[in-house]
Amino acid sequence: MVYRDTVFLYTGHDEDDATGFKMFNWLLYTSTDMVNWTDHGPVASTNSFSWSPKNGAWAPQCIERNGKFYMYCPIHVKGIGVLVSDSPYGPFTDPLGKPLIQNSNDDIDPTVYIDDDGQAYLYWGNPNLYYVKLNKDMISYSGPIVKSSTKPANYQEGPWFYKRKDKYYMAYASTCCPEGIGYSMSDSPTGPWNYTGTLMDRDPRSNGNHPGIIDYKGNSYLFGFNYAISKAQSATHTERRSVCLAKLTYNSDGTIQQLPFWSEAGVDRIAVLNPYKRNEAETIAGSQGLKTSKGPTGMYVTNIDSGDYIKVKGVDFEQGAKEFMAAVASTSVKPVIELHLDSPTGTLLGSLNGKPTGGLGNWVVQSCKVSRQKGVHDVYFVFKGTGSNLFRFDWWQFNQ
């Protein structure tokens, strides 16, 4: 979801020990440059619905209307629920106490769009495609549930419905398995849907591949997922998936150029990061090891072992820097954060050799001198020490 100057990525979350669909909550990540993503942790869960089982937090979509935020959440076999918040960051609550949609076992993967005339539409379905017209309150609908008679022959699930210029688009996961991403176009929000082409061909590297499409700061982007982490961990298929991102290109007639399979390179950054303000440690372009967690004061980085690192892209040292500050928490371990440019072993800016803070809940701001460096660089925070779970890392900042 694009809201004001920020991209909000709401995603399901496979548990670490998942061997099938084991999904309890929905996470939120945000970005303003498309390469550094801030982890906000869980913003809702199946516990947000009194009628939901614990397992079943499948693919949601969130949309803003009149200052409120509506998250449409499928709970397989139970239906599609809706959560509401005054903020895109939550907390989200269930205004209905029951499913919004409870039509059939096809009730998964909701997608919602508000047309130019104010009419909102909710589409969903596997293997059939359905829609309803939502009322202005976004938590009820008028008229019947309509089953599309023109869904593409290779439609499977994961629809993403939107309008661009004067054309309506229905992107979707194509016939399983593996799933590619296809799309149809229409002159009407209710179809008929005319099969148009493939955004991404089926590929054995990804059993599934649900689309999400946005326009942001002059570019168009496609979100989806692959199984790179799952396949790297085990030859046995599991449902531990990675969110992926690629840049989309539209032709003059509104059709979309086909993409290759997800690249490891991802997309180019579209902005630089300001190092002279507080930056959250959980703002990450890449990492090795470690995890994030949520406490009373918010998100932080934890489970840090020696050799783990965080990569942040496009840090703009336009005015140089002479000091690095970080909020850390530890017991008897001395926090060590090495600051490298452009690789984990690149130019060493400095090294924070901290002091124990007296507890993992006791945050202390510690600092070190750094060598002056100008220009735009990727910064690697490389963690060193003896043992495991060395310390916690909350935020950082460079000073001139």
Residue 255 lies in a domain: no
Q: Are residues 55 and 109 located together in one domain of the fold?
A: yes
Q: Are residues 101 and 188 located together in one domain of the fold?
A: yes
* pLDDT in the model for residue 77: 86
* pLDDT in the model for residue 387: 81
Contacts of 294 (CB under 8 A, 6+ apart): 41, 42, 300
Q: Are residues 68 and 124 located together in one domain of the fold?
A: yes
Residue 266 lies in a domain: no
Domains in the chain, number: 2
CA 322 to chain centre: 34
Phi/psi for 361 (5° steps) reads: -105, 5
Q: Are residues 234 and 347 located together in one domain of the fold?
A: no
CA 285 to chain centre: 12
Residue 89 lies in a domain: yes
Residue 264 lies in a domain: no
Q: Are residues 102 and 228 located together in one domain of the fold?
A: yes
Q: Report the b/e string of 331-367 with b at 16+ CB within 10 A.
A: eebbbbbbbbbeeeeeeebbbbebebbeebeebbebe
* pLDDT in the model for residue 237: 65
CA-CA distance, 165 to 333, in Å (whole number)? 57
Whole-structure pTM value = 0.95
Q: Are residues 56 and 178 located together in one domain of the fold?
A: yes
Contacts of 126 (CB under 8 A, 6+ apart): 106, 108, 109, 156, 157, 158
Give, as one character, the DSSP assignment of residue 282. T
Angle at 208 between CA 206 and CA 212, to 5 degrees: 110
Q: Are residues 165 and 238 located together in one domain of the fold?
A: yes
Of the residues 228, 248, 268, the one at which a domain ends: 248
Query: Residue holding tokens 């309890």?
Result: 24
Residue 258 lies in a domain: no
Angle at 43 between CA 134 and CA 280, to 5 degrees: 130
Phi/psi for 389 (5° steps) reads: 50, 60
CA-CA distance, 57 to 46, in Å (whole number)? 6
Of the residues 248, 271, 293, the one at which a domain ends: 248
Q: Are residues 231 and 304 located together in one domain of the fold?
A: no
* pLDDT in the model for residue 204: 87
Is the torsion defined by CA of 311, 391, 329, 352 positive or negative?
negative
Residue 259 lies in a domain: no
Residue 197 lies in a domain: yes
Its domain, for residue 128, covers 2-248
276-281-285-287 Cα dihedral, nearest 10 degrees? 140
CATH number at residue 169: 2.115.10.20
Q: Are residues 194 and 305 located together in one domain of the fold?
A: no
* pLDDT in the model for residue 307: 95
CATH number at residue 302: 2.60.120.260
Contact 374, 381 (CB under 8 A): no
Contact 59, 74 (CB under 8 A): yes
Q: Are residues 301 and 198 located together in one domain of the fold?
A: no
* pLDDT in the model for residue 239: 79
* pLDDT in the model for residue 5: 96
Contacts of 224 (CB under 8 A, 6+ apart): 181, 200, 206, 209, 210, 211, 212, 243, 244, 246, 262
Residue 253 lies in a domain: no
Of the residues 232, 248, 264, the one at which a domain ends: 248
The series of mean pLDDT values per 10 residues for the chain, 400 residues long, is 97 88 95 98 96 94 98 94 98 97 95 98 97 98 97 95 97 94 98 96 90 97 90 73 95 97 93 97 96 93 96 95 96 92 96 94 96 93 91 96
